Structure 1
């Protein structure tokens, strides 16, 4: 793997006539880690150490990394240093002793994910940032205890696989699959309390904090819910790993599901050509002897988990130090993101995320100015590791083309390697005449089109989609080819928070994305000719 870190190290060695083996011994010698670089006028040791670690090669014998190097790179950071910063969107637990006991117990639990998996995801996202992949991130707005069932996990996983096959075929690029699953419980709220029929109670903040039922007892933040959330996340991850590696992700089977689904869909004719070409490609591979038996990778896939790093006491309790690199990782998920309400400069959430080795995301809305974004990037990714940062834009269909170009230009000018991903959900939420909160599919699609248009104009890569979706046949977002009406919202409106795309709308979105990716691919070929 060729990385910026590797190039810098090679140049450093070659300029001094140091062999690769000798460099590893010298760099790991007591007293020579940081001092050796400083004495030679090279104060860049810590940045390179960080870059090596984030690219998943810190264990290489030629590049020995010590915990001391990591401490120098992180400065005063620790898993608890966020407690000295301003923390918003935190629940007010009435029993601090109970919370402390719960967090101590969580701190003894096994990690849910492993550092090597997070590094692998960083490497994959690094390729997306360079224009050689596409990020598909989707799942529940907020997971719930009540709807926890293997069928629901399976159905969402299956739809993500179906979407990924369509996107991969269209773009001719690998699709990185990340679920909003196995930990996406906590939700930020616009107000700490809500009033119903004259009664004021704490807002519902997610099943890992309090109950959705509007009762005095149910709305009290309960630390025991953190333990239940951990257990549900562990069970969900276990099932996802089995699905991803146990044959359920067989490429032929995934395409068959899509064909079966299209047979029941009103938009099938429009995308029949794409589906037919995917089928022909699979048939050709089969004729050449390339199948799940001869190439096991065709029945397996890499699948990662993610959630908003909102409830920092929980995240801190699951933060572990990697024995290979000395770097800290949040082992509650492979990928964590910071929300639009908590990504302000100096926030506790920024402080926590800057020190973990996981790839991280940041929501970018209309209130984020280019200079503020650059300062946040300097804090969260000071060594500019490709794959470390994903910028998730959320503007609304009528605002994206006015606000996004300035951010794209600033990031491009400063050379920050980021994945640009589009969240077309949050900026397009409206209240239907029937009283239900919904998201019109046409507005969702319009924001995605605007996202692609901006990146096409700026010469940058439209690298991903971030969608709140489910594999269930819910009626929460209006429109789409299946034409969910406002009157139909009440039929199957099950969300615990915000409206989600159903299975049909999600797959339709994938085919529409495929058209846009095809256009981008054609323009790339034209430019390269």
Structure 2
């Protein structure tokens, strides 16, 4: 048991960036009280299990595939949507495991990714200024005063939508859908006729042959029938994640049981801020997004604050530099941290540094830029003799037109056809598979 109670309220004395301006504090207090009484969404033992898997990543023995929606919506918590996202993750993981020859730790941006930081607190349309949309956890997407007013009742909806999503994900991953014998069934839709889909189908045939050989040898490991799947989200709204923090009965230590892994965003990683303070108190595996302005001193100070015991698997740095900056901004960080002896897993977010606005006004990303940043990430680690530990991407299992490029190319003029994201542009499944094949090639060359 812990020697003394851990102060879980210390973050309240520090500046908290990107928090909603709740108009009714009494209503917020009532919601927080109710959240404190609800069952955990995940269990501390599962968080520890993920920490063990991430320790293997830090040692160079495994690779992280972390991905899902930019911003989940309450309407998206359906069986079809969850299955399609899981299908994309499974297909990418198969490519990385089989073509890359590496164990893959599968982490979804699901069951809690309902809040988003914004560059401006308000939005102006036609002379009308309203609060910015901060995700379904906070307010609505519709541009009306009623919709955009922060509503603490949405925190409860976020909890219940997360519970539904996790129940579905567990059913799919443990109930036969994730069985390796399903590799062809995951490809029977719009992706099948794309270049990436045809390449995947060839890989699936090879897997079938390998499985047939193993069955002939009377080998049928349990790992072939289910997969380990973990949830994660940016723990942005501190009132929500604090309310879902529980003391583990095994150890007496606090865990944020809203997700297996939580991360701090680039806009909230201030060393003297509330987010870093809160994260320093919980025992989940945690991540921190690092943009191109991060200095080695910043990164080392975050390590001292968030992982003072140098526990493997505890801390993951998620680099989001942009394709044009990754090759010069990342090496000083990796070099300094390696020299310090800190146990850190490095993964690459090649999405957030590569967003631009198309002439149509749509926010978009070029798949070529995404691949270029991942390539630069691998080049840096290869040059320094360190481990490129994974990728962190925004994708959907649907046939959207939000990012340009890919083997079945989308051009800027196509963006308006099926632009469905609630916030940032996502790769569709064909583009996600294009990326997975390229990452597998990069991994095998290291």
Common topology (TM > 0.5):
yes
Q: Deviations over 1:205-263 (max 9, x none)?
A: 00010011111111111011111110000011111111111111101213553487764
Q: Matched residues in 1 for 2:120 and 2:191: separation?
A: 42
Cα 1:270/1:118, change in 2 over 3 Å? closer
CA drift at 1:168:
1.1
CA drift at 1:78:
2.2
Q: Matched residues in 2 for 1:382 and 1:441: separation?
A: 38
Q: Matched residue of 1:305: which SS?
A: strand
Q: Matched residue of 1:176: which SS?
A: strand
Within a 5 Å distance, the mapping from 1:141-152 to structure 2 comes to 141-152=70-81
Which deviates further from its counterpart, 250-259 or 102-111?
250-259
Within a 5 Å distance, the mapping from 1:164-179 to structure 2 comes to 164-179=93-108
Matching residue of 2:414: 488
Matching residue of 1:129: 58
Within a 5 Å distance, the mapping from 1:310-321 to structure 2 comes to 310-321=236-247
Any conservation in 2 of the 1:135–1:464 contact (CA below 8 Å)?
yes
Matching residue of 1:241: 170
Q: Does 1:183 align with 2:112?
A: yes
Any conservation in 2 of the 1:401–1:451 contact (CA below 8 Å)?
yes
Any conservation in 2 of the 1:255–1:279 contact (CA below 8 Å)?
no
Matching residue of 2:129: 200
CA drift at 1:150:
1.1
Structure 1 residues not aligned, in runs of 5+: 1-65, 72-76, 521-529
Matching residue of 1:290: 219
Q: Matched residues in 2 for 1:288 and 1:192: separation?
A: 62
Provide the aligned length of Structure 1 versus Structure 2.
446
CA drift at 1:482:
0.9
Q: Matched residues in 2 for 1:79 and 1:139: separation?
A: 29
Matching residue of 1:349: 275
Any conservation in 2 of the 1:354–1:379 contact (CA below 8 Å)?
yes
Q: Matched residues in 1 for 2:51 and 2:187: separation?
A: 29
CA drift at 1:268:
5.3
Cα 1:268/1:101, change in 2 over 3 Å? closer
Matching residue of 1:450: 376
Matching residue of 2:257: 331
CA drift at 1:169:
1.5
Q: Does 1:432 align with 2:358?
A: yes
Cα 1:258/1:279, change in 2 over 3 Å? farther
Any conservation in 2 of the 1:162–1:255 contact (CA below 8 Å)?
no
CA drift at 1:280:
3.1
Q: Deviations over 1:439-496 (max 9, x none)?
A: 0101000000000000000000000000000111111000011111111111110000
Any conservation in 2 of the 1:440–1:478 contact (CA below 8 Å)?
yes
TM-score by length of 2: 0.97
CA drift at 1:358:
0.2
TM-score by length of 1: 0.82
Any conservation in 1 of the 2:187–2:197 contact (CA below 8 Å)?
no
CA drift at 1:274:
4.6
Q: Matched residues in 1 for 2:411 and 2:314: separation?
A: 40
Within a 5 Å distance, the mapping from 1:254-269 to structure 2 comes to 254-258=183-187, 263-267=192-196
Matching residue of 1:35: none
Q: Does 1:340 align with 2:266?
A: yes
Q: Matched residues in 1 for 2:200 and 2:114: separation?
A: 35
Matching residue of 1:101: 30
Q: Matched residues in 2 for 1:142 and 1:269: separation?
A: 30
Matching residue of 1:158: 87
Q: Deviations over 1:307-339 (max 9, x none)?
A: 001000001100000011011000000000000
Which deviates further from its counterpart, 135-144 or 277-286?
277-286
Q: Deviations over 1:31-84 (max 9, x none)?
A: xxxxxxxxxxxxxxxxxxxxxxxxxxxxxxxxxxx2216x4xxxxx52221101
Q: Deviations over 1:356-380 (max 9, x none)?
A: 0100000000111001110111100
Matching residue of 1:508: 434
Matching residue of 1:67: 2
Greater Rg by CA: 1
Structure 2 residues not aligned, in runs of 5+: none
Q: CA RMSD in A?
A: 1.5
Any conservation in 2 of the 1:133–1:176 contact (CA below 8 Å)?
yes
CA drift at 1:171:
3.2
Q: Does 1:478 align with 2:407?
A: no
Matching residue of 2:367: 441
Q: Does 1:469 align with 2:398?
A: no
Q: Matched residues in 1 for 2:188 and 2:418: separation?
A: 24
The partner residue of 1:388 within 314, 319, 324 is 314
Q: Matched residues in 2 for 1:259 and 1:455: separation?
A: 37
Q: Which has the higher contact order (CA 8 A, sep 6+)?
A: 2
Q: Matched residue of 1:341: which SS?
A: helix
Q: Matched residues in 2 for 1:261 and 1:283: separation?
A: 28
Q: Matched residues in 1 for 2:187 and 2:61: separation?
A: 25
Q: Matched residue of 2:40: which SS?
A: coil
